[in-house]
Every structure is written in structure tokens, then in C-alpha cells.
Structure 1
């Protein structure tokens, strides 16, 4: 089929007519007013021959007057790829010859630089895309534009937005002229601009109909003709919106804070990882006496903080509590929320019962004992902690008597029910003590020492398992000897494959992975491979280390210099403070010394938790292999896209989950491409940061938060995947976020810039301990800064200058 009338097109014909034509056909079938037209199908494009006779016949049936010729690719107007403006549109086409030429131009635009780059960015195969072309009667409008049925700037689903201009709508979508912008939020409007209040009401009603029909917010192109008729030219999903929070059945509005960036993780979590993390975080918060519901929004972990925000007792300290782990961006959004009258304190508090109050008192008692013991005898606390971690490691390994998937499932369920409170206390409270000891001096020394001086005292911190891991890899790099060129010249993924196949020379990698192979990027997600399974990132980091030729820039030397500088800074700071404020000076000195003994333990808790997580993943993959053999999954790691309840149904009832897995994998791939994740969302979808006042900055200056003092100028290196990162000595590492799996890159970087984070989070902590400047919470850093641009990072002032 080469030519088909738009009135005959259905939503199921995407592969034949493309996304845009399928959407128009659906509008016509719904009774909406769409200019009459036809579609030259993708089948004609596949054959590579313009069916001129059929096209001319269809054109004559339209009346042979002026027409609009628009592309409709088979990968266009999809839920995660709009292709807006990527292919050509030709307006006011008259005559058969001009029409045939316009169709050829649309076909050619499929291979334009912009369309090709767009597909590559979304991992869409070029050879799988075909081009259909829409031909419609030309509407000559008095006004035209775009209607968004949700506010595309803030994400709010309770608002619509309209951009309009006199004349053709191309001036709006091309950005070629100033437009009239309207936000439809239920407030009555005067007749200003090119649209009247009646026009806006008609657009709002149309938007509601279309959104109800298609089931998601829509991006609608429209035109109003001279006779005041509203024509619809296109309706497609708004692909940029972050998913809406799930309904909770609780009073609205609600506020949700993103928890993943605390772990340096913005990528979506697999369904199995989400279930595991929700249980772990809920239990951890409960141990601290805090009850927060964890929800899945777009595959990310969000906590519902509404009840805490509306509680008279907790709201007073909510912003301060976020300083340690959540950081300044979260503090800013929560300050805004607390000032919102909709989140005013409610009478009756949060309704905490006597049982919960007693549990909180018990938790508080254990916390006081654990923190005081750690501060009083930090060396003994460290010994107890690492003994508990070793016991956890040994205990996490499953016994050899597991034979069936049912056996393995019973083991996982039994471990979910086990109470490890004693081990948790031995690990948790020294960490909390160290974090408090590091955080409190800033208040005690206000007016005496600036944050940069305190950060300097916290550099080169001992007892950090992540630092020890990075330095172990550095020592491995120093001993590769004759294999240096092999490791530098061979792609990391090829080296990883050779290591796993036992065909790589022995460079000590097996020993390294034996100690640290349970780690990896996004390691808190049980659905993500560990380094032991895929050591590609480790070999990439190893190659970066081998490029360090100046012994003085070796990570071990940098770490030792940072430690020495920290001890010197501590002595000078304590001496100065005790002269000016004797009591505060003594207290601050005590806390900073305890911080140097305990704050490095911050990474140990997560490191310990990865042992049982590694074994959990191993058992799940073995169950997945059994289900694959039974024809219930396509491959073993499909099990990571199920919940444990669904696994139970597959194991005991032979339930086939292949369809669900395929659907969830598609959503996961789509979310992996998302470049930014809201720090906080309201229940109506509003990204709270988008409604905050914009921070003022000088031209070329990006404002963030200083997290590690120092000033460095160097070429930027924007990294999105550490597995393939090439970081030269002296590069400024720019990333959306970092977790411990990224830290091997720090050993060659001169400075760190991230879009998220908290001062005490993993990345900034490690940056301080290596003595490299770090600025965190720089909005859109990975888009504003490009690789190779010269930048200056001032970790004391918290600014990045792009030269």
C-alpha cells in the first residue's frame, strides 16, 4: 500500500504510516476537526520509488489546491521520542511537480545531521526507521500555536500551557518570533495577545478531551482559521515530563523527596532492586525512629515527607536534618514547601501511637549508647565495626545444600525476616558518630573558621574502605610491568572479556576482584551486575591510572599530602579557636579529632551491605536460570524485572512473566536516557525546583555548593558512564552524580563537578580525602559544560567558571 487516506488510518498502523499520521487518524476517528489529507506510506519509502500517479490522483481528490507536506517517521511521536522539528515540513505546496519534490525533500530529511544525531542519542537503529509523508489541505490561520495539556516547564498536571502567534504555527515551533504565552490554571483571563478568553477556553476543553482519550499529557499543534474554526494539526505525548507520583489515598497535596542521589544514583532502579531498596531504607529509617513511605516514581526512590512537613514537632528540624545527606538542593526545596500554606502544620501531629513512641525511645536509647561509646573509644568502635562486617560477609554466603529454585527462594524469604539488629548497631552508630563529629564544628566555629578550613581538616581521612579500594587498584597499576601497553591499547570491554575467559596475563586483577568484586556503579541495585561479573569499568580506571606519569601526582602521594595538610590545618585551627573561644575551641577540637578517627567509616556501612546483596543477586540469577530453562523467562537476568511475589508465582505456579518483563525493560531503557531527575515532586507532578527563584550568577559562572576546598583550572571531561570514561591527569571530572563505583576516576581527575549531592555524600567525601576541589549541586552542569572547555573550579567559593 503506497497511499492511504488519513480518515482510514488507525493507531495500529504506526509501522506503515508513522507516528504523526497515526495520531491524526486517531483524532479523525474521535470526531476532532483535522484538515483532510492522505499519507504516502513507509512502504513506498522502503521501495525507494515515489508513487507519482497515486499521489497526483489523491492530490486531485483534495481539490489540487495549496497543501502542507509533513514528515511522519515510524520512530516519530512515540512515548519517549517526539522527534519534534527533526524532519522537514513544507507549507503552501501547489501543483503536482512541486508536491512530488516536497515529498522527496521529506524523505531526504530522515538522513539529515540533526535527525541522525537525535536517533543516535536515543539508541534508535537508523536502518529500522522509515519515512511516511502526510499531505493535507493547507489551513491559512489567523493564529496558531501549541497547546500542552500539562505545564512542560514545571511538570504540573493541573495546568495547561499555550504558546501562540498570529499567522502560521511554524513561527511558534521554530522559535522564529516572539509568542504569547498563557498558563491555563483556572484563573479567568482578559482578552490579551492574539487569543481571546473564549479561544483559550476552547483550547482547554480540547486538551482535556485529547488527554482523556490518549491517556497521557499531550503536545497539540493547532490553528484557528479566519472563520474562527479550530483545526488540530497534531497530537502527541509530551515526552519530557517526569512520571507522576502514584496515588496514595492520603490528603493532597503531597511532597516527595528523591532518595537515590544520596547514594550517588540517578539511573532508574530495576523492579527487583526497587523492592529490595524500599524494604532496606524503610527499615533503616525506622531504626532511626523515622517513618517515611518510600515510593517508586520513574524507577527512582522517593520518600513521602508530607506528614513530617505538616508535623509541628518534626518540621522545625527537617531542613537542618537534610544538610548531612541530602544536601543544599533538597534543603532549598523543602524550605519552599514549608512556606507553602498547603503544607501548614495540622492539628494532632502525625498520629504517632504509643507503640511507635516507645519504639522511638528504644531507638534513641541505643543511639545515645552507641554514639557515646564510639566518641569515647573510637579505636574500639572501629574494631567492633569491622568484626561485625566480617561476620556479615561470612554469614551472607549461602550453604551448598540448595538444589532447586524453591530452596533458593525460601532462603531469600528467610533472610528478609531475619533480625540483624546487633550487627546493625555495631556498624551504624560509629558511622553516625563520625558524621556528627564532622558536621557539628561548622556551627561551633561560626565566625572563627570558614567552611573551607573545616573541609581541609576533613581531607585525607583514614579508615575509608572506598579510598583503600582505589589505592589498591593504583598499586595494581604500578605493578603491571611488561603488560602496560596491553592494558593501555586494548579496549576495556575486551580486557574484561579476556579476564573472564582466563586468557589475560596475571596482573593481580583476580585478587583485586576477590576483595572488591562485589562493588560496582549503582551497586545498591541488586539488578545491576557487580564488577566481578563485568570488570569493564575497573579496566577503564586502570588505563586512566597508567596515564599518570608524574610520581608526585600519584594517588597515594596526593592522599598522603591531603592527610598531612589536614593534620596541620587541625592543629592551627584548634590553637586559633582556643585563643578566641576557649570552651568552643576545646569542644570543636575534640570533635574534629574524633571526626578524623570515625568519619572515614561512612563508606563501611554500604560496603558491608553489599555482601548480602551480592549473594542475593547470585541466588536470584540461579532461580532465573531455572525459570529460563522452564520457558518462563527469556534469560536469567530477566528475573531482576520481577518482584519477589512474581518470582514466587513463577516458581510454584509456572506463571509466565515474559510479557511483563519485556514491557518493564522498555520502560527501564527509556528512563535510562533521562538526563535529569527532580529533587522533589509534588503530587500534581510539579518539579519543586522549577518554581524556586533563579540564582543570580555572572556570565560564564555556574553557582553550586563548595564541597572540597581548593582552586583548579583544567579541561572539562563530561562523563556519563564510568565504564568507558577516558580521564587524563588534570581533567576536571563533570558528572550528573557519583557513587563509590565512580571514585577510581577521582585518582586522575584534578577536580570534581556534579549536578547533585550533599557535602557528606560519597563523592565529595572521597574528593576531600584526595585533596581535589569539588563543587556540587551545579544545575545542568553536564549540559552547560562541554568536554574540552577550560573551566576553573573553586571549591571554597562553590563556583565553576567556564572560560
Structure 2
């Protein structure tokens, strides 16, 4: 079938007619008014055999005259890829020869540079081109209707942009359209002398509601109104940029993104979320809290695969709302400001009642208080002994994490994951580990308050540099030592792709540089490592070989990471002496206390990473058992492959193991959604239940040309070429370049050891990235909105980690040529 009338098309025919034609056919079947037309299917495109006589005959049956010739690619108007403007449309085409020429040009537009690049960006390998031919409408006004606000994400607002004449001027951006915001219930009122009246806006609103209901998602609709006042619908496709909406609770809720505090913006797998909640539930039960076994953390909500905390009840609490601003400083100024603005929103007016069970809070306090007092005092008095005990606790938790003996059944493996995998690590105080950790964090933060007016922020940051006893720093330095061992095989490790090196390593075909010992200690780590669904380095060491190649490019002794770390430690000790003398002269009592805490900080603050490090062996062991269970389910035909089990939760996996439930369709849908979310460039830090990105509501402040503003992460200044990296796996960075990333967690930190500085889009001063940056003595600027898009690899930038700014420098050559 080479030519088919639009009225005969539906969404099931997308592979034959492309996305645009499929959408038009669906609109016609839904009873909407669509210009008459037909589709030349992909069959002709695939053979590059244009049936000219059939095409002309269909054109004549349409009545001849002026038509619109529009591309309709099979990868167009999809839920995760709109392809807006990527292929060509030709208007006012009249006559047989111009029609044939327009069709061929539509075909050619599939392979333009912009279309090929777009497909690569959204992960589409190939596509075919159908072509839609429709009668031209002569509009007096035309435009675009969004059934949700594409800027803020709000699902209770529709946006209409309209202009006289053809709507292409709006799409092309060549005119400033009249702009209308239609509230969910408010009447549609025209703004001043715009080109649309109240009745026309209401007609558009009703059309938008019908199409959104028909297609099942918010729509981007092109429309036109002719001289007779008739509304014609020209296209409807999903709004692909919207962040997924929170679950509908029937109430306005405020959600706070949780992952970026851990340096994780990629989506979590369903199994990752499920095990996180189950493990946390074990801890809550251990301290005496009442826990729902089906959802131990009901306030932690996965939205778009990211973890959000439901902050609503805290915002509405009369006493707690007053302290929210201070407590949210760790989220950075944008998220903090967004939440503070919600305090004035009548939907979050204060209400009576606590946001938690008072009885549970009392039980937890009584259970933890005695040990906390003893542990904190011991850590202050004998920090070396407390630190040594913390390391012993890590080893003991690892020893007690014992999987079921082999041979084990899938049911036994899954029972162990659910009931036993986290028992050791989720003891009330993690075998006493949390108290020296807590003292270390306090000792690192309190001196800034005690020395206010005495010490500058950048001086206090120096005190935190070269911090010993950080397990992540120790890991990075251990990897540097392996790179030193690899120098005698430099060409092999520098010029062989990391994936090939990983294959050779597993086959035993690489020189021994110490990788086996490293993986024995750190093989449970990875980027986004709190998600059990993520492969560990022990499974895929390719990222480590990529980092080793980066380290081998270091050719200046002073750039060596161990030397930089040593220098940062020396500067820290010297700064403590300087601040101690200064403070004791000006504030004797505070000065002595601040000096004591700074000294304790050097002994304990490095432990801030140790709690998660202690948890990782349990996640590693659970992952191994889950994959073995998945392998059994795959052999029974219930999964396509073992790793698919990570796209189920623990209850669904149990149903598959015990009842033979087949979840393959569910897994395929979740995997597709997961892969779409992996490509999402930005994640809202604060989200309303109607989908509104709260940060997008903030007024734009003054912007200095060439300067991006964020938040201080680690003191210092650096100028260098930017290296934009969105995934650390296989990443290449030259010594002295400045790393620009969406966020960072410990899986990223090996890259820090050769970089001159760090810029991230999200983060917190206490998150992994800026903490490790301070310890290496490199400047860091965090919370720079859209940094990975505003900054390009190779640009010369200057970052100021104290002021929290990034300046894109004007190149000398550019200045001369300009």
C-alpha cells in the first residue's frame, strides 16, 4: 500500500505512515476537524521509487489546487521525541511537478545534518519517511496550543500562542505571538487587543481537553482558524519535554528531589527504589518505629525514576515551616528559594498536627539517646580510637553480610535479599559508626560560626583540604597508584579502548598492575551506586581503565594527585595554626574552642563517606543474588535476560519466583521509560503535584553577560578549558581541564584527581562532589543551572569557588578577529 487516505489511518499504522500521519488519522477518528488529505507511505521511500502517477491521481481526487506537503517520519511525534522542525514542510504547493519535487525534498530532509544529529541525541538509530499531502487552509489566525505549560510543567494550565496568518511564523520564531494562559477553571479572557477572542479561546480549550483525553497525555497542537471562523486542527503530538507528573493524591503536594544530595540525578531502577525502602524499613523497625511493610518510606516517592521527598506536611506545620529555610541551605539557593516562596502560597497554609507520629519519635529518641551521648563524648575525647572502631565496624558489617549457602533456590535467594541482606548494616547506630561520623561533620561545620568575622570562607575551606581518612579519597589515591604501576605499559593502557581493556582483564591477558586487589576492596562501587540496579566495577571495570588512561596523561610532578593531596593537607595544617593565633588574640574562648574542633575535624571529618561505604557490600551481595534469581527466571521464560529483574520491585520479583508471574511486558515498558529518562537534561529540584517545576516560577535576577552564577562549593580560582561530561563511564579529561557535569557522586571522583576545577548543575556544599573537591584542594562551583548546556567543551572558563561564579572568557584570537 503506497497511498492511503488520512481517514483510514490510526496509531497502529505508525511504521507505515509515520508519526504525523498517525496522529492526524487518530484526530479524524476522534471526530476532530482536520484538513482533508492522504499519505504516501514509507513503502515508496524504502525503495526510493516514487509512484508519480498514483501520487498525481490522489492529488487530483483531493481537488488539486494548493496543498501542504509535510514530512511524516516513523520516528516523529513520539512520546519521547517530537522531531519538531527536524524534517521539512512545504506550503502552498500547487501542480503536479511542484508536488513531486516537494515530496522528494521531504524524503531528503530525513538525512539532513540536523535530523541525523537529533536522532542520535534521542537514541534512535534509523527511521523511514512517509509524506502527508493535505488541502491548504487560509487562516486569518493560527498558532500553537499546549495542554500543559511547557515552561513550568503545570498540568492545570494551557498555553496558547497565536498570530495573524500562517502559524509557521510562530513555529519558526520569526514573530512575537499573542500569548494566553488558560487556567484550569478560570474563564478564558483575551489579553488586550490580541488576535483571539473569548469564544475562540474557549473553543481551543475544549479541543485541547478532548485531544489530551484521547491521546492520554499532554499535547502540543497546531491549529488554524479560517475566514469563516472555523477551527482546523493541523497536528497533535505529545509534549516531550515535560517531567513526569507526581502521583495524583487529590491534594496539592510539594516534593523535594532527594537524589542530588547523593550526587545522583540519573533515574533509579524500580528494584533500586524497592530495596532502598526495604532496607530503610529495617532500620526504622530496629529503632522502634511503626513501619508499613509494603511501603516503609511512604514519603519517598519515585517520580520519573528520581526520588522525591513529600515535604507537604512539614511546610504546613506551624512550627517547622519557620525553620525550613535554614534546613534547606544544603540544597542550594535555587531550591531553597523555591520552597520558601511556597510558604506564601495559600495551598500550603499552616495546619494543626505533626507531620510524624509523636510516639515513634519518642521511641527513636529513647532508643538512640544513650548511645549517642556516649558515642559523641568518646569521639571528642579519643578521636583516634573512635575512628579505628568505625573502621572495625565496617569490616564487621561486611563479614556479617553472608548470602545463602550454595546451592540455593531462587526463593531462598530472594528471601535473603528481602529479610537478611541489610540486617547488619541497618543496626540502630550501625555498630557505633555514626557517632564519630556525626562528630566529624559537626567539627567541620561549627568553626565557621565561631570564627565569623575572624576567618574568611576561603580560609575555612582550606582547613578542610587534604582531609585524611576519607574512604572515597583513599579509593581515588589507590587508583592513582595503579596508574603509576601502569606507566611501564603506557602505550597499552593509553591507546586501547577501555572496553577492550576490561575484556582483556577478565580474560587474564593484561599485565598485573594491581587491579585485582583494587576490585577486591572497591569493586562494589560505581556511579549511582546506591541503586542496586547499577552494575558495579567488579562487573564492568571499563570506567576504571578510562580513568587510568586519564592519569597516564599527567606529565607534571606537581599535577600528580598524591602530591596535590599532600599539598592540600599541608596548607590545611598551616591554616589551622594561622587561624588559631588570630582567633585567640581576638576571641580567646571561641578561638580555643574553634581550634579544638578544627583539630578534631582533621581526625574525624573524613569519615563522612564511611556510612555509605559500609552499606555498599550489602548492596553488592544483594545484587549478586538478584541477578542469580533473574537468571533462573530467564531460563523459565519469565524474563528476557537476568538483568531485567532490576525493572521489577521486590514484591513483583517474589510473584515471579513463587507464582510464575510473567512481567515481560511490564519490564519492557519500564525499561523504555528508564532509557527515556536517562536522556533527560534537567531534573526539577522542587515539584508540585500538578507537575509545576517550582524553580521555574522564580523571577529571573540580573545576569552579567558571560557569567554563570551558582553556589560556592570549594574555595579557590582556576582558569582552564571546559570538559563537559554527562556520564563518567569511559570519560576522557585532560590534566588541567575543568570538569563540567550535571552532578557528581563517588563514582565520578576519580576524574577529580587530574582536573583543575569542578562545575555542577546541582549539589550541596556537603555532597560528595564539593567535599572531595575541597579535600583535593580544587575549586568547585555548584548549582549552576543548565551548566552542561551553557558551557561547551573547549571553552576557556574561569571559576571562582568562593564567589560561586563561572565566567566564560573571551578568547584572544576571537577578540583580535572581532
Task: Calculate the TM-score normalised by the size of structure 1.
Answer: 0.97
The one of 612, 634, 653 aligned to 2:640:
634
Residue in 1 aligned with 2:495? Answer: 489
**1:371 matches 2:372:** no
Distance 1:418 1:515 in 2: 21
Question: Are the aligned partners of 1:67 and 1:138 in contact in 2 as well (CA < 8 Å)?
Answer: yes
What residue is the counterpart of 2:602 in the other structure?
Answer: 596
Aligned to 2:317: 311
Are residue 566 (structure 1) and residue 567 (structure 2) matched?
no
CA distance in 2, matches of 1:145, 1:303: 38
Work out which of the residue numbers 328, 331, 337 in structure 1 matches 2:336.
Answer: 331
- 1:649 match: secondary structure: helix
Q: Distance in 1 between matches of 2:40 and 2:341?
A: 52
- Alignment correspondent of 2:814: none
For 1:468, the equivalent position in structure 2 comes to 474
Q: Indicate the residue corresponding to 2:45 in structure 1.
A: 45
Q: Cα offset for 1:417?
A: 7.7
Deviation at 1:689, TM superposition (A): 0.6
Contact preservation (8 Å) 1:282, 1:292 = no
Instruction: Tell me the distance in 2 between the aligned counterparts of 1:81 and 1:678.
Output: 20
Aligned in 2, Cα 1:372/1:479: closer, same or farther, shift over 3 Å? same
**Secondary structure of residue in 2 paired with 1:224:** strand
Which residue among 328, 334, 352 is the counterpart of 2:357?
352
1:760: how far off?
1.0
Task: Tell me how far apart the structure 2 counterparts of residues 193 and 422 of structure 1 sit (CA, whole Å).
Answer: 64
C-alpha displacement of 1:699:
0.4
Change (3 A) 1:356 1:768: closer
Cα distance per residue 1:387-417 (max 9 Å; x no partner)? 1100111111325334211221222232168
- Which residue in 2 is equivalent to 1:85? 85
Q: Say which SS state the counterpart of residue 144 (structure 2) adopts.
A: strand
- Measured in 2, the distance between the counterparts of 1:791 and 1:273 equals 37
Name the structure 2 match of 1:164. Answer: 162
Corresponding residue of 1:54: 54
- Secondary structure of the structure 1 residue equivalent to 2:229: coil
Deviation at 1:55, TM superposition (A): 1.1
Q: Indicate which of 709, 729, 737 corresponds to 2:735.
A: 729
* 3-state SS of paired residue (1:424): coil
Change (3 A) 1:205 1:384: same
Q: Do the aligned partners of residues 405 and 434 (structure 1) sit closer, same or farther apart at CA in structure 2, a change above 3 Å counting?
A: same
Whether 2:723 is the aligned partner of 1:692: answer no
Alignment correspondent of 2:401: 396
CA distance in structure 1 between the aligned counterparts of 2:333 and 2:289, rounded to whole angstroms: 23
Q: Which residue of 2 aligns with 1:192?
A: 193
| Offset, 1:565 | 0.6
The CA distance in 1 between the partners of 2:116 and 2:411, in whole Å, is 48
Structure 1 residue 243 corresponds to structure 2 residue 244: yes
Q: Which residue of 2 aligns with 1:137?
A: 135
- Name the counterpart of 2:115: 115
| Aligned match of 1:410 | 415
Alpha-carbon deviations, 1:135-162, whole Å to 9, x = none? 0000111111100000000000011111
SS in 2 for 1:741: coil
| Equivalent in 342, 348, 351 of residue 343 of structure 1 | 348
CA distance in 2 between partners of 1:329 and 1:568 (Å): 35
- Number of aligned residue pairs: give it: 798
Q: Deviation at 1:654?
A: 1.6
Give the alignment of 1:242-321 within 5 angstroms.
242-248=243-249, 252-280=251-279, 293-321=299-327
Q: 1:281 to 1:459 in 2, by over 3 A?
A: farther
Contact 2:721/2:796 (8 A) holds in 1:
yes
Aligned equivalents of 1:695 and 1:593: distance in 2?
40
Alignment of 1:367-766 (within 5 A): 367-415=372-420, 418=423, 420-422=426-428, 424=430, 426-766=432-772
Give 1:361 shift: 4.5
Q: Any conservation in 2 of the 1:289–1:364 contact (CA below 8 Å)?
A: no
Q: 1:551 to 1:174 in 2, by over 3 A?
A: same
Q: Normalising by the residue count of structure 2, what TM-score does the alignment of the two structures yield?
A: 0.95
After superposition, the C-alpha distances for 1:36-82 in whole angstroms (9 at most, x for unaligned) are 00000011111211111111111111110100110000000000000
Task: Name the SS for the 2:175 alignment partner.
Answer: coil
Measured after TM superposition, the shift of residue 323 of structure 1 is: 3.0
Q: Give the distance between the partners of 1:367 and 1:63, measured in 2 at CA.
A: 85
Aligned 8 A contact 1:282 1:293 in 2: no
Kindly indicate whether the alpha-carbon contact (under 8 Å) linking 2:712 and 2:803 is maintained by their aligned counterparts in 1.
yes
**Would the alpha carbon gap of residues 309 and 43 (structure 1) be closer, same or farther in structure 2, given more than 3 Å must change?**
same
SS of 1:421's partner is coil
Alignment correspondent of 1:11: 11
Superposed displacement of residue 603, structure 1: 0.9
Secondary structure, counterpart of 1:426 in structure 2: coil
Q: CA deviation at 1:447?
A: 2.4
Q: Give yes or no for contact 2:401–2:621 (8 Å, CA) kept in 1.
A: yes
Relative to structure 1, is the Cα distance of residues 661 and 722 closer, same or farther in structure 2, using a 3 angstrom cutoff?
A: same
The answer for the alignment partner of 1:215 in structure 2 is 216
Counterpart residue number, 2:231: 230
User: What is the CA-CA distance between 1:213 and the residue it aligns to?
Assistant: 1.2
Q: Is the 8 A contact 1:370 1:425 kept in 2?
A: no
CA offsets, 1:84-137, max 9 Å, x none? 0000000000001111100101000000011000001112112xx110100000
1:431 is displaced (CA, Å) by 1.8
- Contact preservation (8 Å) 1:289, 1:360: no
Offset of residue 590 of structure 1: 2.2
- Alpha-carbon distance between aligned partners in 1 of 2:467 and 2:298, rounded to the nearest angstrom: 32
Q: CA deviation at 1:289?
A: 9.0
Q: Is the 8 A contact 1:310 1:349 kept in 2?
A: no
Pairwise CA RMSD: 1.8
SS at match of 1:115: helix
- Please name the residue that 2:813 is paired with: none
Instruction: Tell me, in whole angstroms, the C-alpha distance in 1 between the residues paired with 2:334 and 2:375.
Output: 31
Q: Which runs of 5+ in 2 are unaligned?
A: 291-296, 810-818
Q: Distance in 1 between matches of 2:680 and 2:176?
A: 29
SS at 1:124 equivalent: coil
Structure 1 residue runs of 5 or longer lacking an equivalent are none
Superposed displacement of residue 164, structure 1: 1.1
| SS class of match (1:599) | helix
Could you tell me how far 1:281 is from its partner in structure 2?
A: 5.1
